[in-house]
Amino acid sequence: MNGGLLVAGTTSDAGKSVVTAGICRWLVRQGVKVAPFKAQNMSLNSFVTREGAEIGRAQTMQAQACRVEPTALMNPVLLKPGGERSSQVVLLGKPVGEMTARGYHGGRQERLLGTVLDSLAELRGVYDAVICEGAGSPAEINLRRTDIVNMGIARGAGLPVLIVGDIDRGGVFASFFGTVALLAPEDQALVAGFLVNKFRGDVSLLEPGLDMLHGLTGRRTYGVLPFRHGLGIDEEDGLRVSLRGTVRESVVAPPVGEDVLRVAVCAVPLMSNFTDVDALAAEPGVVVRFVDRPEELADADLVIVPGTRGTVRALEWLRERGLADGIARRVAEGRPVLGVCGGFQLLGEHIEDDVESRAGHVEGLGLLPVRVRFAREKTLTRPVGEALGERVEGYEIHHGVAEVLGGAPFLDGCRVGQTWGTHWHGSLESDGFRRAFLREVAAAAGRRFVPAPDTSFAALREEQLDRLGDLIEQHADTDALWRLIESGAPSGLPFVPPGAPA
């Protein structure tokens, strides 16, 4: 078998990432050696592979669904927004510079098509099947000429295309029809059919519409996936995406101790890897919320300042909103504060930034004895260490280099009283360390909170991926899906006018 499939969508957030992960998990349970692929991802949620390459978190989770180690080939182009109009371009896991959207779509993107096709071909040479995820919609007619992630990759690699539509938003039939009808004949020939996502109610009421859609387009529907709470994985961006994730919508067990523990996460601009707090939210009795007002810090037992692609901008935002003063008061009172990556940097004494913001010398919050200098070379590592008597694994993605001038060692950063700082993302996914850290926080906060002794974050992730595989197996036509992956789009699919504009 040397199969492939592109999972496209009628819109952003239609469920492409989830469906791709579900298909991957279903296939691997059938004994298929499968890998995920996304030619181009735009996200501030990223991960570091074992070879030191930076890729999107969604492809990392999809690799986990495939039970394989993630590599840079699975996400050859990653765009990390740095503002409204520019992004850092990460090519095969390494940053190659900043670029405006106009500059990227004005020529650079087209030149990357060869790179992404070569990456896909290399994966297809190793795996039985590669399940690719598109981005946005394939019918973005203003961007088709430079497209390398939807129909550009499908046509370049001869991939059949499955279009996912979110029926919970409404208008799914018009979206399916309109998506096909705005594609060129050569692109339409690869669109095999549709997959309905997030359906609530009686499927028999939907079937007449699916029959009419087939009559209008000549294309079948490969499944109707029911709405399920807590089926999110690490996708691209947006708190709305994170907050609907597995650990926040699943049934949460009651606290083991007498009290809950309240965690407030500052919703800084250009927040990156806010998935760090998912492991906290997985703990029974831990309540996590994102905040943007100083009064919301008052009842928090722990305040987290997360990572950001704009450390200086986030620092200004905290001061403008009064959150900086609120955090300083907490530190003075000995109440727990944790800074991660960019959040750690802005807790320090000062920042020298001629790379990210080009602001030069900027005074930090002065809450940790740390000085930060931004280097042009990005640190991309997977460190392993020990803290609070427990083994810790993490990953680092940052330009800022921290000079620690005092305090007690804490991972690669430091701790002064109940103020903690580290560059390590993902450290709270280490179960023993997370429990030890929460015990410290609870003691400092005066809460009778006790971490559950058996919460395994890795096991929760696996359960989640199995649920996605179950969804495909139980609600999609897997025989037809198998034929599509193995043999490509059916021949003779009709053209739906008017097609793409000239």
Catalytic residues: 341, 425
H or E stretch covering 391: strand 390-393
As a whole number of angstroms, the distance between CA 139 and CA 160 comes to 16
As a whole number of angstroms, the distance between CA 88 and CA 389 comes to 37
Residue with tokens 């109009």: 85
Q: For residue 142, which of 102, 112, 193 has the smallest C-alpha distance?
A: 102
As a whole number of angstroms, the distance between CA 91 and CA 454 comes to 40
DSSP state of 130: E
Q: Calculate helix-pair angle for 431-445, 457-475, nearest 10 degrees.
A: 120
Residue with tokens 């990390």: 80
C-beta of residue 394 within 8 angstroms of C-beta of residue 427: yes
Burial of 491 from C-beta contacts in 10 A (0-12 / 13-18 / 19+): exposed
As a whole number of angstroms, the distance between CA 231 and CA 484 comes to 25
As a whole number of angstroms, the distance between CA 296 and CA 294 comes to 5
The answer for residues whose C-beta is within 8 angstroms of residue 393's C-beta and 6 or more apart is 382, 383, 384, 426, 427, 429, 430
- Cα angle 39, 189, 2; round to 5: 55
The answer for residues whose C-beta is within 8 angstroms of residue 415's C-beta and 6 or more apart is 407, 408, 409, 421
The answer for residues whose C-beta is within 8 angstroms of residue 443's C-beta and 6 or more apart is none
As a whole number of angstroms, the distance between CA 326 and CA 345 comes to 17
Structure tokens that stand for 88 in this block: 């850092």
Chain centroid to CA 6: 19
